[in-house]
Chains A and B, each alone.
Chain A
């Protein structure tokens, strides 16, 4: 039991545990929409593009949240607008923006002394260095993001599932997409300290992808995704404490392990279930034998 209690005697570990729990909830929830709306690449771009904001705040001695929020806002709007114009393909536009912003951050920090050490903790997060005020800031942002997401659950779901119908029924699809990107930005920004710019995408994409393997229902997927994200965060933190490994990366690998287990053993979508007996009638059935007939038992 010492394995669990010893780390908890340190205040920095207590703060880290609270932080990964909040971040796990946030990433697990918003990540479902990132995965379902196909925004993984944009999410990654956002995570990289906020880097100069992080660097500038760091140099200025302010909370990295401020700079990251500013750049997150600019990037989310920029991507939203660029994706509407047809001058450049959307992927290229996003690629250009995020690589340029990221490089800008690296250039700025390379002008500082002690560049390598700082770069490391900014890029990969520093979960054990989280302060009380960081935890509070994360909590406040998390409450806002979760509240907005749950309030607009049916709109976000409709837009993710059938944007054409959403638009034809009169929903402001573009505004909802921008809002979702802003929520994703906010999530990324407050999660940066946990896993850093480069690995944050894993916390946003891996838990919902794992949850999707376990269930066909959106509601259950969201709950499972949040639980998996929290569990990966907490377990990863303990493992990193005892194995003396980098916190953020260990959390990401823990989440990846959960994904691989689900990929093999998930009841319906897992590889084993696929081998044991391909369920008939799943995925794009084109044959059909009669009215009211159940394609599963046909």
Chain B
């Protein structure tokens, strides 16, 4: 499914001098970065540094007050249907009366247009995605009946069937244990291998070192951006976290 994206056109993500505000206070400024297809990008910074704000701005959920966000040669909103957003656990209403399969099928809605319902093909895609994420045969269960890691996989399956160019993950490691992290890593590497850009906002620095190709350091403004190997340095971390973090020698 996601692997079928033969993307000859350049679908890089271009962030140009983005500024986003909540009311009158600027939450985020001066973010400029280019991220190529197939890249796993980490967004790090202390609490309140604007990680979530940046992801939501890219997702079009929060308006930007300045700058531009483009996906390839088009303004990103015109490609909205190919931007998959995986929300933070806390933002999901787990009591909502939907099954795992219902949630995954939501990833197919945009491709159906306004009046058509997902059909047998979409159902098969959704079931295949659940199966790939190790949830075969569990699609008919209510979403509250899964563990934290399984719940996250449901949302990864939803992103998968959306056939996206860009997947945005907001704090994906919350409540996810070691076994589930392994599945998570496999999945995002699969995404990247098929040319999808994966963006992960997280405060878990160990994960950043382990998973990402490039890293964007935020503290209400962009502190640094570049390949993880050269950007994830003690100096940049200190500048980003301002001494709130005991910097273990990084990038080594």
Contacts and interface: CB of A to CB of B under 8 A. Distances in A.
Q: Are A and B subunits of one complex?
A: yes
Interface of A: 36, 86, 151-155, 157-158, 160-162, 164-165, 167-171, 212, 215-218, 221, 281-288, 290-292, 295-296
The binding surface of chain B is classed by DSSP as mixed
The binding surface of chain A is classed by DSSP as loop
Contact of A164 (B91, B95, B109, B149): B91
Contacts of A154: 106, 109, 112, 117-118
B93 A161 contact: yes
Given A155-B114, A162-B87, A295-B145, A288 B99 contact: no
B21 to A, nearest CB: 11
Interface residues of B, number: 49
The 8 closest A-B pairs by CB, nearest first: A170-B80, A168-B59, A288-B147, A216-B142, A168-B85, A218-B97, A167-B61, A285-B147
A221 B84 CA distance: 28
Given A160-B96, A161-B96, A283-B94, A169 B110 contact: yes
Nearest to B168: A168
A165 B106 contact: yes
A212 B142 CA distance: 13
B81 interface: yes
Interface stretch (B10-18, B176-184, B206-214, B231-239): B176-184
Given A155-B114, A170-B81, A217-B99, A165 B149 contact: no
Nearest to A36: B96
B1 interface: no
Given A164-B85, A165-B85, A169-B81, A288 B149 contact: yes
B82 to A, nearest CB: 9
Contacts of A290: 179
Given A154-B109, A158-B106, A164-B56, A286 B80 contact: no
Contact of B175 (A164, A212, A286): A286
B246 interface: no
A212 B97 contact: yes
